[in-house]
Amino acid sequence: MDMNSLRINGKRLQSTLEEMAKIGGTPNGGVTRLALSDEDKKARDLFVSWLEELDMEITIDEMGNIFGKMPGKNNDLDPVMSGSHIDSQPKGGRFDGILGVMGALEVARTLKENNIQLERPYIVVDWTNEEGSRFSPAMVSSGVWAGELSLDWAYNRTDINGKKQGEELERIGYKGSVPAKKHPVHAYYEYHIEQGPILEREDKTIGAPKGIVCLHWYDIYLEGEANQVGPTPMVGRHDALVAASEMITAVNKMPAKMGIDNLVATVGEIQNQPNSRNIIPNGVHFTVDIRSWDDDLAIRGWESLKKDFNEIAERHGTPLRMEETWRVEHAPFDDRLVKRVLETAEEIGYSSHYMVSGAGHDASYMNHFCPTAMIFVPSINGRSHVEVENTSWEDCAAGANVLLHSVIKSASETE
């Protein structure tokens, strides 16, 4: 057959995504499918059943990563791999992550129904807990697999209720026995929604990021002094929440204060103790997320915040503890693969755009040891990590076609 005219089945990809969107579906059209929840388990089971239908060789490792392998003509050659994640944010969208797993599955379905056997094996992957929302950090299981994070540390990360990640893996039946340990990969492609406004603004269908920004995560703990709000005078209080509020404002102002626009800083999570309207707060935990293409800049931003935090804590008499939870350096992708994505888009007839990914992806850790690239499609109104997250079905199919032909090209290379 003429390989160049081969296309994925857009209707099948759509119905696959629609079926997945029912698992953890929210009334407002999004999904809540937190890592290692019952919903995550249900979606994994469905994904595994779809891999079985294709007679793929299924492996579940000790981090719960799911791999489906389609043999090649020469199984001594390193495989081509593609995938993303099935877990979601709380009240997240129907495309983040799942598009990349179902897109990679759709590529396998297309190859199988056309009786195409590639030279190299092709592996579809679901990485456990990419989001880092229930258990921090994000991308933890590709991080363990790539040898960058330790298995024990990952197992012992706890959620807000004190449940351990390792125990939850076991509870849902996805703590496999195969070591979560990298093996050589010839090329890794991750297909994903853009999650930002650039492609729509540029009126382009396919994005090819040159890489991913660095991600630095911190956890801040403040200790205050609880007391009755009525009788306690304003002067002399040690209010942990008031101190935290000044710190949060400092985080938001930090990039501008440094005179820089290629840096973003966010506080997204906060817990306040005892969280009663008539008790002065005596304990606050909040998170800081700093990202930039320039790792040094992100670190300078943090150094400046640390000074501000110490000054604020001292002034309020609220002792401070700062944890540097997680750092992943910016990931410049493989030039040759990025170019391949751009060229493939053009060959198929889609417009394309060279850009940077401001969102984190498992591709970041994969990039540490194998040639890696990503394929983006537009996010309507640039919204993501929200229930209204949306991408047109046409664009979903477009990205999957670019993935299909990028995979075919890489899997046809015999050296």
Q: Determine if 30 is a binding residue for Mn ion (CB under 5 A).
A: no
Q: Determine if 137 is a binding residue for ligand GLV (CB under 6 A).
A: no
**166, two tokens:** 């390792």
CB of 386 to ligand GLV, least distance (A): 12
Closest CA to 364 of 312, 300, 413, 293: 293
In the structure, how many helices (H) and strands (E) does the chain have? 12, 14
Alpha-carbon gap, residue 412 to 342, rounded angstroms: 18
**Number of residues in contact with Mn ion, rule: CB under 5 A?**
2
Stretch that binds Mn ion, among 97-105, 155-163, 313-321, 365-373 (CB under 5 A): 97-105
Structural contact between residues 341 and 206, judged by C-beta atoms closer than 8 angstroms: yes
Options 39, 126, 131, 389; binder of ligand GLV; rule CB under 6 A: 131
Residue sitting closest to Mn ion (CB):
97
DSSP secondary structure of 24-46? TB-TTS-B---TTSHHHHHHHHH
User: Which partner in ligand GLV, Mn ion, none is near 360 (CB below 5 to 8 A by kind)?
Assistant: ligand GLV
Build a one-symbol-per-residue string for 78-117: x at contacts with ligand GLV by CB under 6 A, - elsewhere.
----------------------------------------
User: Which partner in ligand GLV, Mn ion, none is near 138 (CB below 5 to 8 A by kind)?
Assistant: ligand GLV
Q: Which residue has the tokens 């929302």?
A: 133
Closest CA to 217 of 77, 94, 376, 324: 324
Options 31, 138, 220, 397; binder of ligand GLV; rule CB under 6 A: 138
Q: Determine if 209 is a binding residue for ligand GLV (CB under 6 A).
A: no
Phi, psi torsion values for 23, nearest 5 degrees: -85, 105
Q: Determine if 30 is a binding residue for ligand GLV (CB under 6 A).
A: no
Build a one-symbol-per-residue string for 354-373: x at contacts with ligand GLV by CB under 6 A, - elsewhere.
-----xx-------------
Closest CA to 122 of 152, 82, 76, 159: 82
Alpha-carbon gap, residue 3 to 317, rounded angstroms: 69
Look at the chain and count its residues: 415
Q: Is the dihedral of CA 149, 155, 156, 158 positive or negative?
A: positive
CB of 143 to ligand GLV, least distance (A): 13
Beta strands 270-273 and 206-212: pairing type? unpaired
Build a one-symbol-per-residue string for 52-91: x at contacts with Mn ion by CB under 5 A, - elsewhere.
----------------------------------------
Q: Determine if 194 is a binding residue for Mn ion (CB under 5 A).
A: no
CB of 131 to ligand GLV, least distance (A): 5
Across-strand partners of 207? 353, 376
Residue 122 or 326 having the CB closest to ligand GLV: 326
List of residues contacting ligand GLV (CB under 6 A): 131, 138, 359-360
List of residues contacting Mn ion (CB under 5 A): 96-97
